[in-house]
Structure 1
């Protein structure tokens, strides 16, 4: 007689399957799933590290590309190491043959660039323009003029539609909306359905909040400008010329409001700073009922003429003068200060790696935030040398640091951990100025500069399909293509340039 307690039950588990079957099934999973498998049990850990699984990932990601291992050979190396080596090297631009497009533009030099997924957005004077990357790769340029302000565009921000309810029927779409400010006193919100104009400032609008404020019941963004006011705008309101969108006007600054950032630990807190170094923290939950400066819940000051400000969790980082100061927004006490000899022209930080980078004159400095304090003089862990002029353009992510400036013909690429240089990319013609703007997204980079044939030029590079690793070439000095890799790369050679007039 059968045991009733075993009725309908199976004693077979997934670990009873043979290794070939498990690896076959694992090849259909995502890398995140494989990472979870690796810490579940010893058997699934073996599956997660098997060569067949990582070979499948490699082929899916990079068809017709031969694996390259860190030591230059496949002996005693796994396919997992080959995958991770290429994944990291691509994001550090360690290849000399990226997909390259040279795009002349008519008008002023682009001074702001954003990646919006598969679209490049850039501003030229008072115009907002966009370029589709798929069309660019295929050689069929599709340039759209989103529209114009009446004066120079001063700031561009992208906000996710998932954080708003602008379009109820499209609530499931993962799209972004573009918000721009201008010297014409106006703010414009751009979407696929057109644009809306927000009016309220009495002088040029210089800056926008880097994130949306508020909770799901009502999102808003902030603006600041030469009139010394901070204004809050509902992103969901409609109405002619946006009159109904203005939620509050916050007073308290006595000078031009130049920078803004939303607190990381509390999205209702907005930090603003003026050119005279005065910092104000606003509680926007009470903004609609506050009188003049009563919404201000914290104040401090930093050296004049701040060049950068960002929040992470409860810390505020401000770069001004020759220092970067970290302030605890909960107590308004200074956590630490980094001081360098020359003036800071740009800064970025990477909290996940406790790294901070400052752009100075002719070089940039990489700092370890775990070693800094107000009582201990700390040397930077790396100096990123070889620049011309001020380093005003700076990008930093988990793999790389990209630096450039308006006087430098090249943008330089560095490893974010060690500060070792990995590449140098030309962005402007000789004697025609340097890099006016750049945007970096994973394996892709767009730079704006001057050209000897037209007013300005965009240079687009996509390293995803690159195959020639820098370690496979002998470094040669050549100013014709790259001061780093020489003409062997061919990445910027005139024979491969595709010129498009837009």
Structure 2
């Protein structure tokens, strides 16, 4: 390496010597996450990141929104306020599109970018929203399974060798399990792999992949009381050599599986008799009963389970219990819902738990409940008819629904205030509809499902370009008298 010439004057300029306008011009090419990182790095860069020129470029929504907001807010604050309002569905004029299917119950619904995937009985349906709306046929039904589909997951292809030569890095693969004893992997609208090994119906799939970053191993649980591990790097279309190991130890069918947050080789499972087992899948034996590294039990029938860092939160019976995976000790009863709960979600970043019961939804603060033996909810909303079985929770909103109510409700995560109420069926079919038969949420978008005597209905809503705010009133269903079909026909309405 050449040494610096001591006779040549050295530059003493710093990046903070560059004027704000020049830096703002460069920062204008950053995405929101990078802008956030820039803003928290130092006070000077915060000033750059808050420049109006950046946010005016990002503000691509209707002009009247910016002009109204800017009367009281700076451009950045106006942008963030509108973005939050859109995420919370606080508008009555989203883009709406209805898609009709066969008249059968929906088992699962998921959104993958702009695609919708759902299951009805043994059938898988796949819709490309953009293609359907542009008039191109992109509605695929597959019946490769020959019995009811029990679970459906989307996993990133990163870290696996599946379709490596053709798949882009951000591509997802669909995995389904069924009562026909099989697990199927789907990509580009067709089944690419079929895994066989369970001696009965496959009841559940792991919520994440086991292994290093990206993951390579899928876990499944079955009515045969076993947990099986499958390599997603196996060769052969029929999944030959895919079965890596079988975990024995449960006495009853396996109902829930979750991968630990602090160690991706740890697998948490719970069986029908509410016995919890923790497995270290890093061991090498093919038939594993000795890799169980912890056991406990919880009261009541299992409902849902979520891992976060070294904790697992188990919703069962009428309570949510936190268990430390390092000691297998129950450290906290985070929520108690009498007589029992039907759904559960957790937001660890805000230390919040949401539970759905019979007709009502409750919000719980984990930190507050650490200090008491009898946890109390911080908010409760009685806004449904019948059990609340569908629950979505993110940093902006909570979306709730149930099979006896034709509306799904949208609540603010922080205040628990109701921001909107969206009907799942067409207004003329409200009396004969099944109510909400499923929902999936992805940012500004939501898909709801219902079915009646003649057909099933998937209703897609996109709030990204909405402009008419919900008018606050004392009515629990703020948008009950809005006819969404008119927006489906016209593509929207002027305020």
What are structure 1's unaligned runs of at least 5 residues?
A: none
What are structure 2's unaligned runs of at least 5 residues?
A: none
On the 8 A contact 1:165/1:171 being kept in 2, the answer is: no
On the 8 A contact 2:246/2:287 being kept in 1, the answer is: no
Bigger mean CA deviation after superposition, 331-340 or 10-19: 10-19
**For 1:24-423, what aligned pairs fall within 5 Å after superposition?**
24-59=25-60, 62=61, 64-68=62-66, 74-170=70-166, 173-192=169-188, 194-215=191-212, 219-239=216-236, 241-286=238-283, 288-291=285-288, 293-337=289-333, 338-373=335-370, 375-423=372-420
**Alpha-carbon distance in structure 2 between the residues aligned to 1:253 and 1:151:** 24
On the 8 A contact 1:476/1:486 being kept in 2, the answer is: no
Measured on the aligned residues, the alpha-carbon RMSD in Å equals: 2.5
TM-score by length of 1: 0.89
| 1:116 shift after superposition | 1.4
Change in 2 beyond 3 A, CA 1:439/1:73: closer
- In structure 1, the partner of 2:441 is 440
**Alpha-carbon distance in structure 1 between the residues aligned to 2:435 and 2:380:** 21
**Alpha-carbon distance in structure 2 between the residues aligned to 1:217 and 1:348:** 24
TM-score by length of 2: 0.91
| 1:451 shift after superposition | 4.5
CA deviations on 1:133-162 (whole Å, 9 max, x unpaired) are 212343544101244200111100111110
**Alpha-carbon distance in structure 2 between the residues aligned to 1:93 and 1:217:** 32
Corresponding residue SS for 2:285: helix
On the 8 A contact 1:322/1:343 being kept in 2, the answer is: yes
**Alpha-carbon distance in structure 2 between the residues aligned to 1:123 and 1:358:** 25
| 1:358 shift after superposition | 0.5
**Alpha-carbon distance in structure 1 between the residues aligned to 2:254 and 2:313:** 17
**Alpha-carbon distance in structure 2 between the residues aligned to 1:323 and 1:123:** 29
On the 8 A contact 1:336/1:374 being kept in 2, the answer is: no
Corresponding residue SS for 2:235: coil
CA deviations on 1:320-378 (whole Å, 9 max, x unpaired) are 11100000000001110021223110100000110100110000100111111384323
**Alpha-carbon distance in structure 2 between the residues aligned to 1:375 and 1:18:** 54
Change in 2 beyond 3 A, CA 1:22/1:235: closer
Choose the corresponding residue for 2:424, options 419, 423, 427: 427
Bigger mean CA deviation after superposition, 48-57 or 456-465: 48-57
Change in 2 beyond 3 A, CA 1:235/1:38: closer
| 1:267 shift after superposition | 1.0
On the 8 A contact 1:350/1:356 being kept in 2, the answer is: yes
**Alpha-carbon distance in structure 2 between the residues aligned to 1:107 and 1:464:** 30
Change in 2 beyond 3 A, CA 1:33/1:250: closer
| 1:496 shift after superposition | 2.8
**Alpha-carbon distance in structure 2 between the residues aligned to 1:494 and 1:68:** 23
| 1:463 shift after superposition | 0.4
CA deviations on 1:210-248 (whole Å, 9 max, x unpaired) are 111123798211111211111111111123632411111
Give the count of matched residue pairs: 482
On the 8 A contact 1:179/1:187 being kept in 2, the answer is: yes
On the 8 A contact 1:218/1:236 being kept in 2, the answer is: no
**Alpha-carbon distance in structure 1 between the residues aligned to 2:197 and 2:151:** 16
**Alpha-carbon distance in structure 1 between the residues aligned to 2:401 and 2:360:** 10
On the 8 A contact 1:275/1:304 being kept in 2, the answer is: no
On the 8 A contact 1:476/1:485 being kept in 2, the answer is: no
Corresponding residue SS for 1:115: strand
Choose the corresponding residue for 2:479, options 485, 489, 493: 485
Change in 2 beyond 3 A, CA 1:373/1:437: same
**Alpha-carbon distance in structure 2 between the residues aligned to 1:379 and 1:156:** 34
- In structure 1, the partner of 2:459 is 459
On the 8 A contact 1:222/1:231 being kept in 2, the answer is: yes
On the 8 A contact 2:93/2:487 being kept in 1, the answer is: no
